[in-house]
Amino acid sequence: MKPLTQLFMRLGYEFSDSELARVALTHRSAGGFNNERLEFLGDAMLDLVIAEYLFQFRPQASEGDLSRLRASLVKRETLASIAAELELGDYLKLGSGELRTGGFNRSSILADALEALLAAIYLEGGYQAARDVVLALYADRLENLPESAALRDPKTQLQEWLQARGIDRPAYSVESVSGLAHEQQFKVICTVATLEISCEGHGTSRRRAEQDAAEAALSRIGNEQPQV
């Protein structure tokens, strides 16, 4: 495990109580005090900081657009990416089982540890200190926010496209479910009867399969009927 001082330098925050930071970096698999409670607090604090920033700097955005932007910034994948940039996995305390299976690289563990670390900064240094760290970690992402429309999921994009042209909503049907209970694969068909389009989608849940099918339908529409 690397010295915590290197992590503090990357964060731009020096802990007075390094033990608090160690707890934030301790996964439940290691036993004893762990970061689960801190992760709960960090999740809420991060939501507030990002929501506050978006409210101030996207004054024309609707509530729905603000919610989608925030969701894209605080989702597990984004948190894990930031944690990887900090090389957070090198500082984690994990149980033997997680060590054997590469837990220090697992997205869920990295994301939770980052939220816990932010909560630890909040508890020790207060809201402003935590906010400063969050905005510094997110600086590039906040400067390059996508357009709101780009964050709409495929099902929403497809429905809005059809509604704008007076076309009935698409229909989704589950064609098959295969695999074991914890490894199921769904096959869904998205049908737009008016346009005579029927597209197939796959995913580990019905929702993901529907999104995949909707994305395929959007692609078909773009390729075959851009002027409809």
Q: Which residues are catalytic?
A: 43, 115
Measured at the CA of 132, the angle between CA 51 and CA 94, to 5 degrees, comes to 90
For residue 31, give the 3-state DSSP assignment. Answer: coil
Question: Which helix (H) or strand (E) element contains residue 201?
Answer: strand 197-203
**Contact between residue 94 and residue 64 where contact means Cβ atoms under 8 Å apart:** no
Bridge partner residues of 127 (DSSP): none
Chain centroid to Cα 175, Å, comes to 29
User: How many Å apart are CA 133 and CA 90, to the nearest integer?
Assistant: 20
Q: Which two tokens stand for residue 152?
A: 């709409």
Phi, psi torsion values for 191, nearest 5 degrees: -120, 130
Chain centroid to Cα 102, Å, comes to 21
By DSSP bridging, strand 185-192 and strand 171-178 are antiparallel
Bridge partner residues of 198 (DSSP): 191
